[in-house]
């Protein structure tokens, strides 16, 4: 019997997403516009955690929140999705983490705010989480603040997966490449992979990243994904999707890939599962609202 208490511990920030959809245009200074739809949900690393939980994985989310309305919403949504709350770091004061999303046809804009007064305190909490927990895999946002934390995870022989986000200076840094070299799985999108490697061609970017990390995947959006493992290249097309909101698609893709990988699936199957999860995500407003259940996945992929 396995000694692991969780399949995945997700480590990264989570925020309340206030999503306006169906805007006639992007707002201009001094003018008011009206949205056709409003959704209040939770984003950030919560997208991957919720998507993985829906697939039947036992997951924890190690995020920081405050004793305020925003923290209440995050906890409520985590409970709805069956996510283990034991590693949530909650302060006894307001600590807002909020993103406003403006969706206009196929374009979108964001306005975000994240209180970071207690970052050093939270990093100490995360070190305790990594040191004291036993999970099959630890999935991190590849933030520069997590460099020492990820190095600690590897010293403790933890299995590490990394996703990343857009920060032009950080993506071009030697420090990020060193971090990628510690990971077992790395899953950037194409734009991020191009910025990290300086290679425009997706296959050239994949080859360079695969030299750093044994399992590397590049998300290509509606074109699917490519990946490399054990020196072999793989590719998978994305299924057709009726795009409503692309927020969180990459996060749900990552959850699907990790589900397949933890199931011991072939790399090609992992990409197929990931593409399906990402494509379902874009068909609903919210980062994980459209993420499929395990039953939906098995039915759609013929029992894969």
- Tens-digit pLDDT profile for residues 25-63: 888 999 999 999 899 999 999 999 999 999 999 999 999
Q: Are 226 and 209 in contact (CB under 8 A)?
A: no
pLDDT of the residue at 1: 34
pLDDT digits (tens, 9 = 90+) for 92-111: 999 999 999 898 876 778 89
Question: Is the sign of the CA dihedral 129, 13, 180, 247 positive or negative?
Answer: positive
Q: Is 94 left (phi over 0), alpha (psi -120 to 50) or beta?
A: beta
Sign of CA dihedral 92, 93, 94, 95: negative
Q: Determine the pLDDT at residue 29.
A: 92
Q: Which two tokens stand for residue 82?
A: 């069956």
pLDDT given for residue 3 in this prediction: 58
Mean pLDDT calculated for residue range 143-158:
96
Find how far residue 225's CA is from the centre of its chain: 16
Question: Is 303's pLDDT higher than 60?
Answer: no
CA pair distance 198, 200, nearest whole angstrom = 7
Distance CA 238, CA 255 (A): 15
- pLDDT 10s digits, 159-210: 999 999 888 899 999 999 999 999 999 999 999 999 999 999 999 999 999 9
Q: Is the pLDDT of residue 82 over 60?
A: yes
Q: What's the pTM value of the predicted model, to 2 decimals?
A: 0.93
Closest CA to 274 of 204, 202, 210, 226: 226
Q: Do residues 66 and 88 touch, judged by C-beta distance below 8 A? A: no
């Amino acid at each position: 019997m396995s000694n692991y208490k969780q399949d995945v511990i997700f480590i990264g920030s989570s925020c309340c997403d206030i999503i306006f959809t169906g805007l006639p245009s992007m707002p201009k200074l001094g003018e008011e516009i009206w949205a056709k739809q409003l959704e209040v949900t939770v984003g950030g690393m919560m997208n991957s955690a919720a998507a993985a939980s829906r697939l039947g994985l036992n997951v924890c989310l190690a995020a920081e929140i405050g004793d305020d309305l925003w923290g209440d919403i995050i906890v409520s949504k985590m409970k709805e999705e069956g996510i283990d709350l034991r590693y949530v770091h909650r302060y006894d004061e307001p600590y807002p983490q909020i993103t406003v999303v403006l969706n206009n046809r196929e374009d979108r804009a964001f306005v975000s705010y994240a209180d970071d007064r207690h970052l050093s305190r939270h990093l100490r909490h995360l070190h305790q989480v990594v040191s004291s927990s036993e999970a099959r895999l630890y999935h991190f946002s590849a933030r520069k603040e997590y460099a020492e934390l990820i190095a600690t995870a590897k010293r403790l022989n933890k299995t590490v997966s990394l996703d990343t986000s857009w920060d032009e200076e950080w993506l071009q840094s030697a420090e990020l490449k060193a971090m990628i070299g510690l990971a077992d799985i790395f899953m950037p999108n194409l734009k991020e992979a191009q910025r990290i490697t300086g290679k425009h061609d997706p296959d050239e970017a994949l080859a360079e990243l695969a030299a750093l990390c044994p399992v590397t995947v590049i998300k290509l959006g509606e074109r699917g994904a490519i990946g490399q493992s054990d020196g072999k290249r793989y590719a998978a097309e994305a299924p057709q999707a009726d795009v409503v909101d692309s927020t969180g698609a990459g996060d749900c893709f990552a959850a699907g890939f990790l589900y397949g990988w933890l199931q011991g699936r072939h790399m090609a199957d992992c990409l197929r599962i990931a593409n399906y999860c990402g494509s379902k995500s874009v068909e609903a407003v919210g980062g994980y609202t459209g993420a499929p259940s395990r039953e939906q996945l098995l039915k759609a992929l013929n029992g894969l």
